[in-house]
Amino acid sequence: MKKIIQQLSVINYQLHVYCLLFIVTCCLSSCTKVINIDLNSANPDIVVDAEVTDSATSYTVNLTQTVNFSDNNVFPAVDGAIVIISDNAGNSNILTETVQGSGNYVTSNLRGVDGRTYYLSILSKGQKYTATSTMPYGVPLDSVIADTGSTQHHGGGFGGGGYGGGSTAPSVTVRAVFTDPKGIVNYYRLIEYVNNVPNYNTISIISDQGQDGSQISENVVRRDTSIHTGDTVKVILESIDANVYEYYRTLKQVTKAQTGIQTTVPGNPTTNLTNNALGFFSAYAVRSKYVIAP
Amino acid sequence: MRKIIPFVLSLLFISSYRLASQNKYTISGYVKDVKSGEQLIGATLVVKELPATGTTANAYGFYSLTLPEGKYTLSAQFTGYQTKPEVIELNKSTKLDFALSDAETELNEVVVTDEKRDQNITQTQMGMDKLDIQQIKNIPVIFGEKDVLKTLQLLPGVKSAGDGSSGFYVRGGNTSQNLILLDEATVYNASHLLGFFSVFNSDAIKDVTLYKGTHPAEFGGRLSSVLDIKMKDGNDQKFHVSGGIGIIASRLALEGPIKKGRGSFLLAARRTYADAVLKAITTNPELKHISLYFYDINLKASYRLNDKNRVYLSGYFGKDDLGTSSNFGLNYGNATGTFRLNHLFSDKLFSNTSLIFTNYDYKITTSFGANSLDIISRIQDYGLKQDFQYFLNAKNKIKFGLSSTWHKLIPGSITTDSNSPLSKRGVPNKYALENAIYISHEVKATDKFSFEYGARLTSFSLFGPGTFYTYNAVDSLTDSAKYTQSQIVKTYINLQPRAAFNYILNAKSSIKGNYARNTQYMHLLQNTTSGNPTDLWIPSSNNVKPELCDQVSVGYFRNFLDNMFETSIETYYKQMQNQIDYVNGAQLTLNANVESQLLYGIGRAYGVELFIKKKYGRFNGWLGYTLSRTERKINGINNDTWYAATQDITHYLTAVGIFEINKKWTASANFIYYTGNAVTFPSGKYEVNGQVVFYYTERNGYRMPAYNRLDIGFTYQAKKTEKFESSWNFSCYNAYGRENPYSITFQVNPNNPQQTQAVLTYLFRWVPSVTYNFRF
């Protein structure tokens, strides 16, 4: 089901691109221009980027602030906050800021364990922000398959990076195959590392709704990286909880609006943080596999 | 309802009692065009001796007038036609048909009076626009394709949903709150090529009437307007061919008698060749393989069986095809069909029975690697409508009837290759039954005062089979229940009263008032401002309540210089309930739980519409201005406070001018200016996971830049004889090349990743076009 939705969003995207191309070519002049627009300035709000996994030994909470649209993409760190992560097994850890003023807070002796619920608490400038995330049990990958993509080269594809970019269509498609545990609700996120470089540009998320207990085979959607023969491709399968899935899903909808398709409902993604904080807190289980591109 | 029926009956009794003492007889018949035999809808029947009586011909050109015995001078009047009074000695019930000839030709006829009509003053109906199909021909439009929907947007109270959209907003309603009827069949998507054209081929259209929420009780089903479009019946005297050749589309229409004077047919077709043009001029290899076209066919046939019975068959079929050579295709279109039987039970009781079918569907074909996938979505209506018009006497007219429609909705069904790993699950089908009964009574109380009141009682039932969920908040399921086939999930019943009055102050001016309640049971979910063919219609359900709207409007109408100028001021206030909006990042397509993505609230809209029209002379045209506001208060948006709806457009100004330079050349121009609609823009930005994300503080807190545009056109009448007519139309859309915004998006500056920028997309600068039209 969700697969279809992803595909459909690609289709909608194509539709618009299509429509625009038609117009560009039909009409005598070009059709986009950069404009100055007077946007209100907003009071700075806190942005939380926090995670707990079952693989690493220490976890980072990154605190920054929003800036005005016209400002440079430099996001001030929020320092001096009290950040605590605890779990439902009675463990609790006060995070320390790695470098004073960096806004990066790390755990010292906390281990992420599948099935446990984690609580994040932040106290900054007199405001308290909290979030809860339950780490699902990890689901192993059955295999990661790299398909050489002669079938991917279509005569008239407008998809993916074709619009506004001018990048080439990917030559290799990587597919993750895993078996969804039956009888429980699962959500996943896929991340691809090509030669150890992660690709966060697209969000690959999967829900088992409509395919509970089945073997799922999912292409890792890619927008602007291409894989070449001999590249090492690592695919990470994150098992995420429902709220984090909802965060990524709405983030995806919102960023889609940013890439050229105007929707009537742009907005902030749904977060599991309280007190109007932006960002999210995710406790997730990690499984991964490698493949060498043929 | 229980109170209304006795009231109606008592009024009927009183009015018939008053006239019972005199001998009275009925004159009835049809009003038609002498040359084509087309019935003239809404022609006015005037009795010279009794200026306060009179009536109008109905949608089939039929009229009936009951008068006391006597000698009368009766005439039928219709804009652009000559009036020929008939003197009649009324001492028995009489049939009298009027065959009018248009004012341009046959000027050598003996008795000619081109009456300057003042129907806008005398009729009770307000909040109504009627398009003059003859006039449309001269108004410049994009690509030279004359278009009723685009022309409607030049009238006050009707607003454009932007370049590249056939959608329109009426008095603060959104594009889905308009009921668009083509010969009584609902048209669910009125746009071709994603909105650049409307589905209505003006060669096949006789009458276009828009009711801005003030429609009489026989119509219903949408909140803000009814657009009633009627096809031509075809010429029942002579066979004709007409057509046009344009730069991206051509048209051809055939019409003629099935049996002279008894039956006629019309067949009109259109086809674009935008893709052929595109392929010829493009250098982009990707565009060499695309398909991009639409076609549509209108068919109508009518036949008079005898004096009492007449049958009509109308059909529309249209298809859009967009696609790349191999991996993506979208086709969509409407099909409608109506079979109608007119029957005269007596010279006072007119009946029409309609069987109506409508279908809208789209199909998306894609391939992913070696696998292909088709998504089909469809909405179908099967309807029966029975209308009666009872012309009781010169002062009373009663309309009543019923309708019943079965809706079948297939939101998304998916088919794949047999061995495909892609999911085959679609979204379950929905079934609903919509019924209505109505009655309305039109009374000419005195010479000066007339009124109409009525009510429409509607019911809507959602049927199983399926599992129906109840949501109390976003994405939170509280309950679910399973229903079998033909089991009712939920039924809504609504009474919609209406009332209108007209008080004629003097021969030149009148005051009118109107109140109407409207209900809408079918809702369109749209998450782009311009609309997509893939937007989803959903029925009212256990979660989605019927939309309700109460509108009060008052207007002052005044004509100047012997009806040369028509002016009006209309104001309205609307309150809406159960309005629908969406959560942030709503997932509307192919979502079985789409109702979890919706938010509900109330709305209000108010405004004033000014209109000045010069109806006659070498120069004619109009000026319209609307000042208005539309707001919503939705639980869960902007802290539950009032905010501007997307279609909130403060100022809307239009001007249309048509000037006949000489017998050969006609020049025309239209100008449009409006405030940008309300939009959501970011107020800041932040970074998560190395990605810049925009920060939004409120919904619809910003405005698009104001829109303005001038179009000019020239028509050259090359040849005009009885046998052959031809003309050239030259036009330029957006004559001063204004870059009107289609959308504004925000992105990281590709040349400087440290910065973000706003990018404006506009669709058209100058669009010149040439069309050659002919008729023989």
Window 296-335 of B: residues touching A by CB (8 A cutoff) are 322, 324-328, 330
Looking at the structure, do residues A282 and A182 belong to the same domain, yes or no?
Answer: yes
Q: Which residue segment(s) compose the domain that A202 sits in? A: 2-32+137-292
> At residue B10, does pLDDT exceed 60?
no
Instruction: Taking residues B596-618, report their average pLDDT.
Output: 91
State the DSSP H helix or E strand holding residue B375, giving kind and residue range, or none if neither: strand B371-393
- The region of weakest confidence among A38-52, B72-86, B212-226, B447-461 is B72-86
Q: What is the pLDDT of residue B584?
A: 79
The alpha carbon torsion through B689, A195, A216, A158 (nearest 10 deg) reads 80
A41: tokens are 């300035």
- Beta-carbon contacts of residue B243 (< 8 Å; ≥ 6 apart): B203, B250, B251, B252, B253, B773, B774, B775
Contact B499/B7 with Cβ under 8 angstroms? no
Question: Of B387 and B420, which is predicted with more confidence?
Answer: B387
Looking at the structure, do residues A124 and A74 belong to the same domain, yes or no?
Answer: yes
pLDDT, tens digit (0-9, with 9 covering 90-100), for B286-311: 666 777 788 999 999 999 999 899 99
- Which of A65, A72, A75 is facing B755, going by the closest CB pair? A72
Looking at the structure, do residues A128 and A257 belong to the same domain, yes or no?
Answer: no
Tell which of A134, A152, A181 closes a domain: A134
| A45 contacts B690? CB cut-off 8 A | no
> At residue A203, does pLDDT exceed 60?
yes
Cis peptide bond prior to B465, omega within 30° of 0: yes
Q: B166 pLDDT band (50/70/90 cuts)?
A: confident
Looking at the structure, do residues A6 and A127 belong to the same domain, yes or no?
Answer: no
Place of tokens 């980072």: A60
> What are the beta bridge partners of residue A197?
A194
Q: Which class for B542: exposed (0-12), middle (13-18), buried (19 or more C-beta within 10 A)?
A: middle
State the DSSP H helix or E strand holding residue A14, giving kind and residue range, or none if neither: helix A2-26
Tell which of A134, A158, A180 closes a domain: A134
- pTM of the shown model: 0.86
Q: What is the pLDDT of residue B425?
A: 61
Count of domains in chain A? 2
Tell which of A134, A150, A173 closes a domain: A134
CA B371 to chain centre: 41
Return the number of other C-beta atoms located less than 10 Å from residue B667's C-beta.
Answer: 16
| A11 contacts B325? CB cut-off 8 A | no
Residue A27 lies in a domain: yes
| B745 contacts A258? CB cut-off 8 A | yes
CA separation for the pair A165, B323 (Å, rounded): 21
The alpha carbon torsion through B180, B184, B185, B188 (nearest 10 deg) reads 10
Write down the ipTM of this complex: 0.85
> At residue B317, does pLDDT exceed 70?
yes
- Delimit the domains of chain B by residue range: 4-115, 128-775
A84: domain CATH number is 2.60.40
Q: Which residue of A has its CA nearest to B284?
A: A25
Task: Name which of B311, B356, B57 is nearest B182 in CA terms.
Answer: B356
| A258 contacts B324? CB cut-off 8 A | no
Window 326-385 of B: residues touching A by CB (8 A cutoff) are 326-328, 330, 364, 366-370, 373, 375
The CA distance from B247 to the nearest CA of chain A, in Å, is: 11
B291, HSE (Cβ side, Cα atoms, 13 Å): 14
CB pairs under 8 A between A and B: 279
Q: B123 pLDDT band (50/70/90 cuts)?
A: confident
Looking at the structure, do residues A221 and A130 belong to the same domain, yes or no?
Answer: no
Contact A186/A192 with Cβ under 8 angstroms? no
Instruction: Taking residues A96-113, report their average pLDDT.
Output: 90
Sign of the dihedral defined by the CA atoms of residues B344, B346, B350, B356, in that order: negative
Looking at the structure, do residues A57 and A163 belong to the same domain, yes or no?
Answer: no
Looking at the structure, do residues A6 and A141 belong to the same domain, yes or no?
Answer: yes
CA separation for the pair B631, B640 (Å, rounded): 12
- The answer to whether B591 faces chain A, any CB pair under 8 Å, is yes
B391: tokens are 């012309």
CA separation for the pair A274, A120 (Å, rounded): 10
Question: Of B728 and B140, which is predicted with more confidence?
Answer: B728
Mean residue pLDDT across chain A: 80
| B754 contacts A254? CB cut-off 8 A | no
Q: What is the pLDDT of residue A27?
A: 43
C-alpha R_g of chain A: 21
Q: What is the pLDDT of residue A169?
A: 46
Q: What is the pLDDT of residue B607?
A: 95
The CA distance from B681 to the nearest CA of chain A, in Å, is: 8
Looking at the structure, do residues A23 and A113 belong to the same domain, yes or no?
Answer: no
Instruction: Taking residues B533-546, report their average pLDDT.
Output: 89
Contact B452/B499 with Cβ under 8 angstroms? yes
CA separation for the pair A252, A236 (Å, rounded): 19
Residue A40 lies in a domain: no
**E strands along A31-171, which residues?**
32-35, 46-53, 60-65, 67-68, 82-87, 92-94, 96-97, 104-106, 117-124, 127-134, 141-148
Residue A39 lies in a domain: no
Instruction: Taking residues B346-352, report their average pLDDT.
Output: 92
Q: What is the pLDDT of residue B474?
A: 53
B635: tokens are 């639980």
The CA distance from A261 to the nearest CA of chain B, in Å, is: 8
| A69 contacts B746? CB cut-off 8 A | yes
Classify residue B135 by its DSSP letter. Answer: H
| B278 contacts A265? CB cut-off 8 A | no
Question: Of B116 and B695, which is predicted with more confidence?
Answer: B695
How close are the terminal C-alpha atoms of chain A, in Å? 30
Residue A166 lies in a domain: yes
CA separation for the pair A199, A221 (Å, rounded): 10
B377: tokens are 């979505």
Looking at the structure, do residues A128 and A160 belong to the same domain, yes or no?
Answer: no
**E strands along chain A, which residues?**
32-35, 46-53, 60-65, 67-68, 82-87, 92-94, 96-97, 104-106, 117-124, 127-134, 141-148, 172-179, 187-194, 197-207, 215-219, 232-240, 278-292
CATH superfamily of this structure's domain B128-775: TonB-dependent receptor, beta-barrel domain (2.40.170.20)
- Which of A20, A157, A252 is facing B324, going by the closest CB pair? A157
Contact B204/B236 with Cβ under 8 angstroms? no
Residue A103 lies in a domain: yes
pLDDT, tens digit (0-9, with 9 covering 90-100), for B655-687: 999 998 988 898 999 999 999 989 888 889 999
Residue A249 backbone dihedrals phi, psi, to 5 degrees: -60, -45
Q: What is the pLDDT of residue A152?
A: 37
- The answer to whether B590 faces chain A, any CB pair under 8 Å, is yes
Contact A49/A59 with Cβ under 8 angstroms? no
Looking at the structure, do residues A147 and A237 belong to the same domain, yes or no?
Answer: yes
Instruction: Taking residues A247-266, report their average pLDDT.
Output: 69
> At residue B534, does pLDDT exceed 90?
no
Contact A31/A19 with Cβ under 8 angstroms? no
- The answer to whether B415 faces chain A, any CB pair under 8 Å, is no
> At residue B323, does pLDDT exceed 80?
no
- Highest mean pLDDT: which range of A120-124, A220-224, B65-69, B273-277: A120-124
CA separation for the pair B537, B180 (Å, rounded): 14
3-class SS at A204?
strand
Question: Of B195 and B264, which is predicted with more confidence?
Answer: B264
Q: What is the pLDDT of residue B345?
A: 93
Residue A85 lies in a domain: yes
Looking at the structure, do residues A129 and A180 belong to the same domain, yes or no?
Answer: no
B396: tokens are 């009373």
Q: What is the pLDDT of residue B181?
A: 94
> At residue A149, does pLDDT exceed 80?
no
Q: What is the pLDDT of residue A25?
A: 46
- The answer to whether B755 faces chain A, any CB pair under 8 Å, is yes
Sheet (strand B691-695) strand order: A67-68, B684-688, B691-695
Contact B304/B310 with Cβ under 8 angstroms? yes
Instruction: Taking residues B643-647, report their average pLDDT.
Output: 92
Contact A20/A162 with Cβ under 8 angstroms? no
Contact B493/B192 with Cβ under 8 angstroms? no
Q: What is the pLDDT of residue B283?
A: 65
Q: Could you tell me how many helices (H) and strands (E) chain B has, helices first? A: 5, 50
Contact B129/B158 with Cβ under 8 angstroms? yes
Residue A12 backbone dihedrals phi, psi, to 5 degrees: -60, -40
Return the number of other C-beta atoms located less than 10 Å from residue B652's C-beta.
Answer: 24
CA distances from B512 to A265, B505, B572 (A): 39, 10, 12
CA separation for the pair A266, B694 (Å, rounded): 9
Looking at the structure, do residues A58 and A19 belong to the same domain, yes or no?
Answer: no
Task: Name which of B167, B159, B153, B175 is nearest B524 in CA terms.
Answer: B175
Q: What is the pLDDT of residue B225?
A: 94
Q: What is the pLDDT of residue B116?
A: 54
The alpha carbon torsion through A275, A276, A278, A282 (nearest 10 deg) reads 40
B655: tokens are 């001007």
CA separation for the pair B775, B720 (Å, rounded): 9
Domain spanning B4-115 has what CATH number? 2.60.40.1120
- Highest mean pLDDT: which range of A5-19, B428-442, B607-621: B428-442
Place of tokens 């059709």: A31
